[in-house]
C-alpha cells in the first residue's frame, strides 16, 4: 500500500486529541481543535466553535464524580476517521457505560468536526439529565 501522508497526519492529530481528552487536558484540546470546529451530539445538539466544543468535552469531567473514556478502535481514511470509545461515569446515583462512535474530520492538522453516535441514546440522555 502506498504511503498516504494525509492519513498519517490525520491519524497523528487524532491520537493526540484523544490522548488530551483522556488526560482531561483542555489546553491541549484547544490547541488541536480548529477555531470553526463543529460538535454534533445526540444529547446536546450541535455546537460551533473551538471553545464550545472544548466546553462540551470538559463538561463531562466537571459534571460527574467520575468520568473516563477508553479508545477501542480507530479507522482513518484520508482526513476522516471513525473512532469507537467506551465512556464510563458516575453522577449521583446514575452510572454511564456507553459505546460511542465518533465520526471525526481533520482539516489542516486540527480536529474540525465531531459527530457522535451512541449505542443507547435514551440511557445516555437520562444519565446527563440526572443529577
Average pLDDT for residues 5-9, to the nearest whole number?
A: 64
Instruction: Dump the DSSP string for 46-85.
Output: EEESHHHHHHHHHHHHHTSSEEEEEEEEEEEETTEEEEEE
Per-residue model confidence (pLDDT) at position 3:
43
- Arch. (CATH architecture) of 5-129: Roll (3.10)
Residue 23 DSSP code = T
Task: Give the residue extent of every domain in the chain.
Answer: 5-129
Whole-angstrom Cα distance, residue 60 to residue 22? 11
Q: What is the pLDDT of residues 111-121, one digit of tens each?
A: 999 999 999 98
User: Which residue would you say has higher pLDDT here, 131 or 60?
Assistant: 60
Average pLDDT for residues 48-61, to the nearest whole number?
A: 91
Per-residue model confidence (pLDDT) at position 30:
96
Per-residue model confidence (pLDDT) at position 1:
42
Phi, psi torsion values for 98, nearest 5 degrees: -130, 130
Amino acid at each position: 500500500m502506498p504511503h498516504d501522508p494525509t492519513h498519517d497526519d490525520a491519524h497523528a492529530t487524532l491520537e493526540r486529541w484523544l490522548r488530551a481528552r483522556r488526560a482531561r487536558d483542555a489546553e491541549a484540546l484547544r490547541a488541536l481543535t480548529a477555531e470553526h470546529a463543529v460538535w454534533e451530539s445526540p444529547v446536546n445538539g450541535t455546537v460551533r466553535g473551538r471553545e464550545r466544543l472544548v466546553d462540551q468535552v470538559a463538561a463531562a469531567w466537571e459534571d460527574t464524580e467520575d468520568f473516563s473514556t477508553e479508545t477501542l478502535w480507530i479507522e482513518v481514511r484520508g482526513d476522516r476517521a471513525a473512532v469507537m470509545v467506551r465512556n464510563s461515569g458516575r453522577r449521583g446515583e446514575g452510572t454511564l457505560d456507553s459505546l460511542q462512535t465518533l465520526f471525526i474530520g481533520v482539516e489542516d492538522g486540527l480536529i474540525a468536526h465531531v459527530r457522535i453516535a451512541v449505542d443507547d441514546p435514551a440511557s445516555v440522555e437520562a444519565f446527563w439529565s440526572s443529577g
